[in-house]
Homo-oligomer: A and B are copies of this chain.
Amino acid sequence: MDEFALIKRILAEFRDPSGDGHPAWLGLGPGDDAAVTTPPPGHELASSIDSFLADVHFPGQAAPELIGYRCMMASLSDLAAMAATPAWALAALCLPEGREEWAVRLSRGMAEAARAARVQLVGGNLAAGPVALTLSVHGWAPSGSLLARKGARLGDAICVSGPLGGAARALKSLDLANSIPGQLSDLERCYWRPQPPFELSAELRRHANAGIDVSDGLLQDLNHLCMASGVGAQLHGGAIPLAPGANLEDALSGSDDYALAFTTGKGALRRRGVVIGEIVAGKGLQLDGKPIDPEGFQHF
C-alpha cells in the first residue's frame, strides 16, 4: 500500500464531525514538515511521550480499536496528572507491511479517545517495522498552576480519583485479546477504557499540592511522589477503593489503572477524591502502620 494513501485514511478517522477541527490555537495540522500551534497567552505547556508495544503494553491480538483508545487515554493520563488541559498529540506508528486495515482501525480507536478528551492529532510519522505506537501528547494550563510530583506537604490528605486494581484484575483473569468493542464487561472496561479525570484539573490546579498518575501501581507511583516531595506516606488499607472484582493487592501493586493520586490540604478537594491516607514525615510508605515495600511494574 502507498504510504501517503494510508496517511490519508488515518487522518480521515480523526476528522471531527462536530466541526471543532480547527481551533484558534492550531496554525498548521498534519501534512507539512512540522505542526504549528500557539499555546494560549499566559499558559505553560505540559508535554509527555509514551510508547506502546504489542504484547508488552497491550495484547497484540486484541481489536485494534480497543488498543488505539487505550493507548491514547493512557498517554493523556500524564497530562491529567499535571492538571493540564489536553490539547494536541503527535503519533508515530510502526507497522509491518500488510497491516494497513489494522492501522486504520487502531486510528479509529485513537480518534475516539482524542475526541472524548478534545485533543487534536496535529502530526505523525509512519514507519515499516514491528508494531509500535508512540504518542507525544501536549496540554496547557495557566502559568504556575501545573501540578508536579514534588510539593506534597506534611499532613496532606492522599487521595485517589477512583477505584483501583480493575485493570490489573482484568489482565490476570480475562483473555483481553478476545474483548469485543461495544460489548465490554465492567472489568474489561477497567483495562480498555481508562478515563483519566480531566474534569478534576481546574480544582487540582487550585487546591492540590502534588499529583501523579497511577499507571505502574499505587505503591510504586506514590513512592515516586513521596521521594520527589521528600516525605513519607501512611496508607489505610481499608480506605483504598477497589474496582469490582479487584482485591487489595491488585489495587496496591497492579498497573494500568490510570487513575490519579494527589495530595491536598483542602477539604473541598478531599471530597472530589477518595482519601486513602496522609503525608507524614520521613520516607517510604506505611500501610496500616507497617512499612511496605513499593512494588510495581518495571519495564526491565
Chain A residues in the interface with B (C-beta under 8 A): 1-3, 6, 27-28, 31-39, 41, 43-53, 56-57, 78-79, 81-82, 84, 90-92, 94, 97, 122-130, 132, 134, 136, 138-139, 143, 146, 148-150, 211-213, 228, 298-300
**Distance in Å: Cβ of A60 to nearest Cβ of chain B:** 11
Number of copies: 2
A124–B38 Cα distance when bound, in Å, is: 22
Asked if A228 and B32 make an inter-chain contact with CB atoms under 8 angstroms apart, the answer reads yes
A202–B27 Cα distance when bound, in Å, is: 19
Given A48-B123, A51-B134, A136-B49, A56 and B298 contact (CB-CB distance below 8 Å): no
Given A3-B298, A3-B300, A50-B125, A36 and B45 contact (CB-CB distance below 8 Å): yes
Residue of A2, A6, A299 contacting most chain B CB atoms (<10 Å): A299
A146–B27 Cα distance when bound, in Å, is: 10
Q: Which of B49, B139, B148 contacts A92 (CB 8 A)?
A: B49
**Which residue of chain B has its CB nearest to the CB of A260?**
B33
